[in-house]
Amino acid sequence: MDNTLVGTLSVGNDLCGVRCIHPELVLQARAFLADEGTYRRLADLFAALADMTRARLVHTLARQELCTCDLAAVVGVSESAVSQHLRVLRSLRVVKTRRAGKFVFYSLDDAHLALLIQVGLTHLGDESPAQSMVPSAVEERAP
């Protein structure tokens, strides 16, 4: 066990051995923080991607735009379920729509989202170079 005794406190590896705040370092770190609203929106984005079906939808849309029916077939859930998930993703500006006659096609709102998914999958070891999503690969498809 990597615990050391400091005074009467038993401290693990993840805590300082002595409690001491370094004001200059705290001020420097705080200068890089965004406003609280930004972190709320960031948390909402990651919460949306925390749902497995929505993560699969975003990963699919990183490669090509598809309509609701196609997305339902790809991820193996009902069109109604896909529609509910897309509503959440659209409200967070993760996906956007394009109408072509009777069809509504979905695509990622911007290439940064494809990069976010790619980085996450690479971190997990599930994204091979052959599967790499280049942000410019998000192209529109004619009906």
Examine residue 15 and state whether it is found in any structural domain, yes or no.
no
Tokens 């909402």, residue located: 44
Examine residue 6 and state whether it is found in any structural domain, yes or no.
no
Using CA atoms, how far apart are residues 119 and 132, in angstroms rounded to an integer?
10
Q: Which of 68-72, 127-131, 132-136 has the lowest mean pLDDT?
A: 132-136
Examine residue 132 and state whether it is found in any structural domain, yes or no.
yes
Q: Would you say 57 and 85 are in contact if contact means Cβ atoms under 8 Å apart?
A: yes
Give the N- to C-terminal CA distance of the chain in Å, as an integer: 63
| Domain range enclosing 130 | 37-137
Angle between helices 79-91 and 68-75 (to 10 degrees): 110
Examine residue 24 and state whether it is found in any structural domain, yes or no.
no
What pLDDT, on a 0 to 100 scale, did the predictor assign at position 128? 58
Nearest Cα neighbor of 62 from 143, 137, 142 is: 137
77-125 pLDDT, tens digit each:
999 999 999 999 999 999 999 999 999 999 999 999 999 999 999 999 9
What pLDDT, on a 0 to 100 scale, did the predictor assign at position 10? 52
137's tokens: 């690969």
Does the predicted TM-score (pTM) go above 0.85? no
Examine residue 64 and state whether it is found in any structural domain, yes or no.
yes
CATH of the domain at 63: 1.10.10.10
Examine residue 5 and state whether it is found in any structural domain, yes or no.
no
Instruction: Name the domain count of the chain.
Output: 1
Confidence of residue 12 (pLDDT cuts 50, 70, 90): low
pLDDT above 50 for 143: no
Tokens 């280049």, residue located: 134
